[in-house]
Amino acid sequence: MRKTLDSYVANTPPHVVAARRLVDRTGGEPPRVIAYRITTSGPEAVELCEHEPDREHYVEKQVRPVAEPVLNALGLDFAQVIHLLGRARESLKNAGQGISRWFPG
């Protein structure tokens, strides 16, 4: 953290939200560096993570921006690829295959 947690007023970045939650739960000092993940309940410090990762967030904010230009160059549509992957996952899951190796959750 470059600033104190209290100095974030108008805009609160996710790492600050996670740090505030960590301090609230542990009563400790704010960390200088925090590892966090975006969960279904918002940003959480990795060491106190209680909720599932927000997969939709990561697909839309991390995967899509990188994959879309590559897929477009190949003449593929990101939404269609995601849809097909979801269908393949369900088919394999229903068939009793060990798909969790590749698609956990």
| Strand 42-45, strand 36-39: pairing | antiparallel
Cα 72 from Cα 63, distance rounded (Å): 14
0.75 surpassed by pTM: no
Residue 105 has pLDDT above 60, yes or no: no
Q: What is the pLDDT of residues 37-69, one digit of tens each?
A: 999 999 999 999 999 999 999 999 999 999 999
Instruction: Give the integer Cα–Cα distance in Å for 39 and 14.
Output: 11
d(CA 4, CA 61) in angstroms, rounded, equals 27
pLDDT(96) > 80: no
Residue 21 and residue 48 in contact, taking contact as beta carbons nearer than 8 Å: yes
Nearest to 103 by CA among 7, 92, 41, 94: 92
The mean per-residue pLDDT over the stretch 2-14 comes to 86
